[in-house]
């Protein structure tokens, strides 16, 4: 997302080019596999600009990819991580092979489903996860219980659970369905298992949780397991991103005999 003349850390440049994550890129640098302008480097504490020539194992590194964002309908039962130490199935094992290397914007826990944003840009990921963005994370929630307004009021005021303070939530009852209730709920921070923990604290046990919105991006009719890229125009409008800068080309030579 940097401008054409801006500098950035070499590991970030490698990550934006799709070579590897920044952490893995740093190990490549330490192993002496990366060179800048023909000189092998061994420390990631180096800034490079678009004019610098970067190679990996002697081969030129591709130009950084433009910032991209995808909507993904995460099914329940998948872990939102690249690898799981317990051997559970992961989101990234189910993404289409043609997708470039992507990162998730935040997480959905194992049993949650719905909208998960994916991006190829680490800076955009961090920006979208910041509570300072103030973007609502919106959920449809099914929970065991029959709440009245008094039960929901602590959620709307802000509730403290196990010493952790949650910001006020927007909570609306959609319908009672037997012993379960369907709620529409919106939060602004997205802390670890925030919705489940907050509802349990007021006596409601969540048995289905579907994220349907993240800021201006909506789940809509996206089928479970499906991935759809956000159009670049919409991405620019919603996030204020600029069009990718065109390469500067030298002016054409002037015809001989002309001044």
Q: pLDDT, tens digit, for every residue of 138-182?
A: 999 999 999 999 999 999 999 999 999 999 999 999 999 999 999
Contacts of 90 (CB under 8 A, 6+ apart): 78, 79, 80, 81, 82, 83, 84
Residue 133 pLDDT more than 80? no
* Whole-angstrom distance, CA of residue 218 vs CA of residue 140: 12
User: Which residue(s) pair with 170 in the sheet?
Assistant: 186
Place of tokens 């590991």: 11
* Whole-angstrom distance, CA of residue 76 vs CA of residue 79: 9
* Whole-angstrom distance, CA of residue 137 vs CA of residue 106: 11
pTM, rounded to two decimals: 0.77
Give the domain ranges of the chain: 8-60, 69-239
Q: pLDDT, tens digit, for every residue of 103-113?
A: 899 899 999 99
* Whole-angstrom distance, CA of residue 87 vs CA of residue 79: 10
Which uninterrupted H or E stretch holds 210?
A: strand 205-214
Catalytic residue numbers read 109
CATH of domain 8-60: 3.10.290.10
Q: pLDDT, tens digit, for every residue of 229-253?
A: 999 998 888 887 655 544 344 445 5
CATH of 69-239, picked from 1.25.40.10, 3.30.2350.10, 3.40.190.10, 3.30.390.50, is: 3.30.2350.10
Give how far Cα 65 sits from Cα of 15, 16, 120, 204, Å. Answer: 9, 6, 8, 45
Q: What confidence score (pLDDT) does residue 202 get?
A: 97
Contacts of 151 (CB under 8 A, 6+ apart): 145, 202, 203, 204
């Amino acid at each position: 997302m940097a401008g054409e003349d801006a500098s950035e850390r070499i590991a970030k440049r490698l990550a934006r080019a799709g070579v590897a994550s920044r952490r893995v890129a740093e190990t490549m640098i330490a192993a002496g596999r990366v060179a800048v302008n023909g000189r092998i480097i061994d420390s990631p504490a180096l800034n490079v600009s678009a004019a610098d020539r970067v190679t990996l194992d002697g081969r030129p590194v591709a130009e950084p990819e433009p910032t991209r964002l995808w909507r993904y309908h995460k099914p329940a039962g998948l872990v939102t991580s690249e690898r799981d130490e317990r051997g559970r199935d992961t989101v990234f094992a189910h993404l289409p092979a043609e997708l470039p290397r992507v990162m998730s914007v935040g997480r959905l826990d194992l049993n949650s489903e719905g909208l998960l944003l994916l991006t190829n840009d680490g800076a955009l990921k961090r920006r979208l996860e910041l509570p300072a963005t103030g973007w609502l994370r919106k959920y449809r929630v099914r929970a065991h219980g029959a709440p009245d307004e008094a039960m929901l009021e602590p959620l709307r005021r802000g509730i403290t659970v196990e010493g952790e303070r949650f910001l006020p939530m927007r909570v609306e009852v959609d319908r009672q369905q037997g012993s379960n209730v369907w709620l529409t709920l919106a939060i602004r921070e997205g802390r670890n298992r925030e919705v489940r923990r907050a509802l349990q604290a007021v006596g409601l046990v969540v048995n289905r949780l579907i994220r349907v919105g993240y800021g201006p991006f909506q789940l809509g009719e996206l089928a479970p397991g499906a991935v759809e890229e956000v159009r670049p125009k919409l991405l620019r409008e919603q996030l204020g991103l600029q069009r990718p800068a065109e390469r500067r080309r030298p002016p054409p030579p002037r015809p001989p005999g002309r001044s």
